[in-house]
């Protein structure tokens, strides 16, 4: 069994686990969790995290962008204009072109505003950005994002930070079948088994923040997520048995005494 490599916009990554950098008690805890997780991509909320002012504590002082790929995101943006402005700023600060687009529809549920998301994807792609898109789990909208130039589709499992796990496996399976782009579950993961389920559905990766950062023991949860993603991927590639309502003996009746 040879697994295909995890490739996004022609860049190869070793880990299929992407980790967020928000909600930790400190930068040092964040850095330790990321190291333990084995992740080589981290998301950075450009509007919320200091990545340019050297006179204040910076994420870069704890997580080396030369060793870990920074994925600037537009967390907290509610319009296409805000999202595009934020990512242009990220490009100016660090030269980042691989980005995560997140345009929210409301402050309570934090669901994606898909019309604005689609418009942002089209405009950012024309500007040369490689856009990984946070979206709902609608297969039809996922197709539109592919046509708009997205480099990865990132449907939610459940509302951001809810920890509810994957609520609509059917739609995730449909999106998996209809696209060859990297499919990454984003938002709603609560525990290691959720990450394993995502990978068993055929997803290429999982993005996790709250489930690690707000766990009682974040470093231990980071390790659990690392192995959950590996296990789920291996399970998917191994080819599960066909489910049946009837029992099937583990051994044959041949030669039975």
Q: What is the pLDDT of residue 131?
A: 97
Domain assignment of residue 202, given as a range = 6-238
Residues whose CB is less than 8 angstroms from the CB of residue 87 and which lie 6 or more positions away in sequence, other chains included: 46, 72, 74, 99, 101, 124, 129
What is the band of 252 on the pLDDT scale with cuts at 50, 70, 90? low
| Average pLDDT of the residues in 103-123 | 93
Q: Rounded CA gap, 131 and 129, in Å?
A: 6
Q: What is the pLDDT of residue 253?
A: 66
Q: What is the pLDDT of residue 194?
A: 96
Domain assignment present for residue 254? The answer is: no
Domain assignment present for residue 246? The answer is: no
What is the band of 46 on the pLDDT scale with cuts at 50, 70, 90? confident
Among 56, 97, 100, 226, the one annotated catalytic: 100
User: Is 100 considered catalytic here?
Assistant: yes
| Average pLDDT of the residues in 86-93 | 90
**Exposed, middle or buried: residue 94 (CB in 10 Å: 0-12, 13-18, 19+)?**
middle
Answering whether pTM is above 0.85, one says yes
Residues whose CB is less than 8 angstroms from the CB of residue 186 and which lie 6 or more positions away in sequence, other chains included: 134, 154, 155, 156, 157, 206, 207
| Number of compact structural domains in the chain | 1
Domain assignment present for residue 251? The answer is: no
Domain assignment present for residue 250? The answer is: no
Q: What is the pLDDT of residue 52?
A: 66
| Average pLDDT of the residues in 239-245 | 85
Could you report the per-residue pLDDT of 124-153, keeping only the tens digit for each? 999 999 999 999 999 999 999 999 999 999
Domain assignment present for residue 164? The answer is: yes
Domain assignment present for residue 184? The answer is: yes
| Average pLDDT of the residues in 14-20 | 96
Domain assignment present for residue 87? The answer is: yes
CATH number for the domain harbouring residue 186: 3.20.20.70
């Amino acid at each position: 069994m040879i697994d295909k490599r995890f490739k996004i916009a022609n860049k190869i990554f070793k880990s299929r686990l992407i980790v967020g950098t928000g909600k930790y008690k400190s930068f040092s805890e964040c850095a330790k969790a990321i190291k333990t997780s084995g992740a080589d991509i981290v998301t950075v909320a450009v509007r919320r995290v200091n990545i340019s002012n050297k006179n204040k504590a910076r994420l870069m002082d704890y997580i080396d962008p030369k060793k870990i790929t920074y994925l600037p995101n537009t967390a907290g943006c509610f319009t296409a204009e805000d999202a595009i402005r934020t990512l242009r700023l990220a490009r100016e600060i660090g030269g980042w072109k691989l980005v995560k687009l997140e345009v929210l529809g409301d402050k309570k549920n934090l669901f994606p505003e898909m019309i604005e998301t689609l418009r942002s994807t089209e405009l950012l792609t024309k500007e040369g950005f490689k856009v990984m898109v946070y979206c709902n789990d609608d297969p039809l909208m996922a197709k539109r994002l592919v046509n708009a130039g997205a480099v990865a589709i990132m449907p939610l499992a459940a509302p951001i930070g809810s920890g509810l796990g994957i609520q609509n496996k059917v739609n995730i399976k449909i999106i998996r079948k209809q696209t060859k782009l990297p499919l990454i579950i984003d938002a709603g993961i609560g525990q290691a088994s959720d990450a394993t389920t995502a990978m068993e559905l055929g997803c290429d990766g999982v993005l996790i923040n709250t489930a690690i950062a707000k766990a009682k023991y974040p470093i231990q949860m980071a390790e659990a997520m690392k192995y959950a993603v590996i296990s789920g991927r291996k399970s998917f590639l191994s080819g599960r048995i066909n489910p049946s309502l009837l029992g099937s003996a583990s051994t044959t009746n041949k030669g039975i005494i």
